[in-house]
Structure 1
Amino acid sequence: MGDTHLYNVLGVSRNASNSELKKAYHRLAKEYHPDKNPESAEKFKEIRNAYDILSNPEKKEIYDNFGMQGLADGFSPGGPGGFPFGDVLGGMFGMRGGFMGSRHRRQRGDDTTHHLRVTLEDFYNGKTAKLQLSRTVLCKTCGGAGGRGNVLPCRMCHGHGIKKTMRQLGPGMMQEIQTTCPECRGEGETYSDKDKCGPCMGRKVVNDDKILEVHVDKGMRDGQKILFRGEGDQLPDVDPGDVIIILTQIEHKKFVRNGEDLYYKHTLGLAEALCGFTMVLKHLDKRQLLIKSEPGQVFRPGARKVIKEEGMPVYRNTFERGDLIIEFDIKFPPPHFIGEPEIKELQKLLPEPPAISIPMDDESVEEVTLTEVSNSRRNNRRSEAYDEDHDHFNHRGSAGAHMQCAHQ
Structure 2
Amino acid sequence: MQIRIHQIRPGMVQQIQSVCVECQGHGERISPKDRCKSCNGRKIVREKKILEVHIDKAMKDGQKIAFHGEGDQEPGLEPGDIIIVLDQKDHAVFTRRGEDLFMCQIVKHGDFKCVLNEGMPIYRRPYEKGRLIIEFKVNFPENGFLSPDKLSLLEKLLPERKEVEETDEMDQVELVDFDPNQERQCHYSGEAYEDDEHHPRGGVQCQTS
Higher relative contact order (CA 8 A, sep 6+): 1
Per the normalisation by structure 1, the TM-score is: 0.27
> When you count helix as a share of all residues, which structure comes out higher?
1
> When you count strand as a share of all residues, which structure comes out higher?
1
